[in-house]
Amino acid sequence: MEAPQQLHSEKHAATPLLEIIATLARELHPLQTAWRPPTLDSHLERDLGFDSLGRLELVARLERQFGVSLPEQSFAEAETPRDLLRAILSSPTTTSLEGTPPVIPEAGRSNEAPEQAGSLTEMLDWHVAHHGERTHIRLYSDSDEGERISYRQLHEGALKVAAALQRHGLQPGEAVCLMLPTGSDYFYSFFGVLYAGGVPVPIYPPLRPSQLQDHLRRQISILSNAKATYLITIEAAKSLAKLLKAEVESLRELLTLDALHGNPQALSPVILRSIDTAFLQYTSGSTGTPKGVILTHANLLANIRADGAAIEANASDIFVSWLPLYHDMGLIGAWLGSLYFGAQLVIMSPLSFLAKPERWLWAIHRYGGTLSAAPNFAYQLCCSRIDDKALEGLDLSRWRVALNGAEAVSPETVQSFQARFSAYGFHAEALCPVYGLAESSVGLTFPPLHRKPLIDRIRRLEFSRSGQAIAAEPDDPRALHFVACGHPLPHHEVRVVNAASHELPERQQGAIQFRGPSACSGYFHNSQATRELFDGEWLRSGDLGYFADGDLFITGRSKDVIIRAGRNIYPEELEEAIGNLEGIRKGRVAIFSSQNQNQPGERLVILAETREQDPAKREALSARIDSIATYLTMIAPDEIILAAPGIILKTSSGKIRRGACRTLFEQGAIKAHPRPVWQQQLQLSLSTLPNRIRRIVGSAKDWAYSLYTRGIFYILAAFTYLSVMLLPTTFRWPLMRAMARLLAKASGTRLTLRGAEYLPTVTQPVILVANHCSYLDGIALVALLPFSFRFVAKSELRRNWIAHTFLKRINTLFVERSDPRQAVTDSYTAQRSALQGESQCYFPEGTFSRRPGLLPFHMGAFSTAANAALPVQPITIRGTRSILHANDWFIHPSQISLTLCEPVVPVPGIEDAWQQAILLRDRARTEILRHCGEPDLASEKRV
Span 503-516, average pLDDT: 93
Distance of alpha carbon 260 from alpha carbon 231, whole angstroms: 12
Segment among 99-103, 167-171, 417-421, 737-741 with least mean pLDDT: 99-103
What's the pLDDT score for residue 674?
Answer: 39
3-state secondary structure of 32: coil
Count of CB atoms within 10 A of residue 907's CB?
12
Residue 613 burial by Cβ neighbours in a 10 Å radius (0-12, 13-18, 19+) = middle
Q: What percentage of the chain has pLDDT greater than the value 70?
A: 84
Judged against a pLDDT cut of 90, whether residue 228 lies above it is answered with yes
The CA radius of gyration of the chain, in Å to the nearest whole number, is 32
Reported as a single tens digit per residue, the pLDDT across 134-186 is 999 999 887 777 789 999 999 999 999 999 999 999 999 999 999 888 899 99
The most confident of the ranges 71-85, 331-345, 886-900 is 331-345
Distance of alpha carbon 281 from alpha carbon 290, whole angstroms: 10
Distance of alpha carbon 236 from alpha carbon 249, whole angstroms: 22
Nearest to 699, CA basis, from 487, 466, 902: 466
Distance of alpha carbon 102 from alpha carbon 507, whole angstroms: 47
Nearest to 278, CA basis, from 441, 444, 490: 441
Judged against a pLDDT cut of 60, whether residue 781 lies above it is answered with yes
What's the pLDDT score for residue 597?
Answer: 47
Residue 819 burial by Cβ neighbours in a 10 Å radius (0-12, 13-18, 19+) = exposed
Distance of alpha carbon 91 from alpha carbon 5, whole angstroms: 10
Segment among 130-139, 262-271, 280-289, 755-764 with least mean pLDDT: 280-289
What's the pLDDT score for residue 283?
Answer: 75
The pLDDT confidence band at residue 634, using thresholds 50, 70 and 90, is low
SS3 of the chain: helix, strand, coil, percent, to 5: 45, 20, 40
What's the pLDDT score for residue 4?
Answer: 42
Cross-strand pairs, 373: 403
Nearest to 429, CA basis, from 397, 457, 474: 397
The pLDDT confidence band at residue 107, using thresholds 50, 70 and 90, is low
Cross-strand pairs, 495: 513
Instruction: Identify the residue with better confidence: 552 or 43.
Output: 552
The pLDDT confidence band at residue 266, using thresholds 50, 70 and 90, is confident
What's the pLDDT score for residue 306?
Answer: 95
Residue 713 burial by Cβ neighbours in a 10 Å radius (0-12, 13-18, 19+) = middle
Instruction: Identify the residue with better confidence: 903 or 801.
Output: 903
What's the pLDDT score for residue 684?
Answer: 42
- Report residue 807 CA to chain centroid gap: 44
The pLDDT confidence band at residue 941, using thresholds 50, 70 and 90, is very low
What's the pLDDT score for residue 30?
Answer: 58
Reported as a single tens digit per residue, the pLDDT across 664-714 is 776 676 754 434 434 444 544 454 466 567 767 877 888 899 899 999 999
Reported as a single tens digit per residue, the pLDDT across 332-391 is 999 999 999 999 999 998 888 887 889 999 999 999 999 999 988 889 889 988 888 889
DSSP class of 334? I
Span 258-274, average pLDDT: 86
* Number of residues written out for the chain: 943
Segment among 271-285, 509-523, 748-762, 819-833 with least mean pLDDT: 819-833
Span 882-907, average pLDDT: 88
Handedness of CA 923, 924, 926, 930 (dihedral sign): positive
Q: Torsion angle, CA of 773/774/778/783, rounded to 10 degrees?
A: -90
Phi-psi label, residue 395: left if phi above 0, alpha if psi -120 to 50, beta otherwise: beta
**CA neighbours closer than 13 Å in the CB half-sphere of residue 706:** 18
DSSP string computed for 237-304: GGGGHHHHHHH-TT--EEE-GGG----GGG----PPPTTSEEEEEE---SSSS--EEEEEHHHHHHHH
What's the pLDDT score for residue 635?
Answer: 67
The pLDDT confidence band at residue 569, using thresholds 50, 70 and 90, is low
Distance of alpha carbon 441 from alpha carbon 428, whole angstroms: 27
Instruction: Identify the residue with better confidence: 887 or 865.
Output: 865
Count of CB atoms within 10 A of residue 501's CB?
16
What's the pLDDT score for residue 97?
Answer: 58
φ/ψ of 481, rounded to 5, equals -125, 130
Q: What domains can be seen in the chain, in order of their start residue?
A: 4-90 (1.10.1200.10), 120-366 (3.40.50.12780), 455-557 (2.30.38.10), 562-684 (3.30.300.30), 727-939 (3.40.1130.10)
Count of CB atoms within 10 A of residue 818's CB?
9
Q: Are 490 and 451 in contact (CB under 8 A)?
A: no
Segment among 48-52, 111-115, 476-480, 596-600 with least mean pLDDT: 596-600
DSSP class of 756? G
3-state secondary structure of 430: helix
Handedness of CA 60, 64, 65, 67 (dihedral sign): positive
The pLDDT confidence band at residue 9, using thresholds 50, 70 and 90, is low
Amino acid at 147: E
Judged against a pLDDT cut of 90, whether residue 248 lies above it is answered with no
Instruction: Identify the residue with better confidence: 815 or 177.
Output: 177
The most confident of the ranges 360-364, 792-796, 917-921 is 360-364
Handedness of CA 119, 434, 547, 569 (dihedral sign): positive
The pLDDT confidence band at residue 7, using thresholds 50, 70 and 90, is very low
Distance of alpha carbon 876 from alpha carbon 885, whole angstroms: 17
3-state secondary structure of 863: helix
Span 215-237, average pLDDT: 82
Instruction: Identify the residue with better confidence: 762 or 405.
Output: 405
Q: What percentage of the chain has pLDDT greater than the value 90?
A: 39
Distance of alpha carbon 345 from alpha carbon 111, whole angstroms: 15
Distance of alpha carbon 94 from alpha carbon 92, whole angstroms: 6
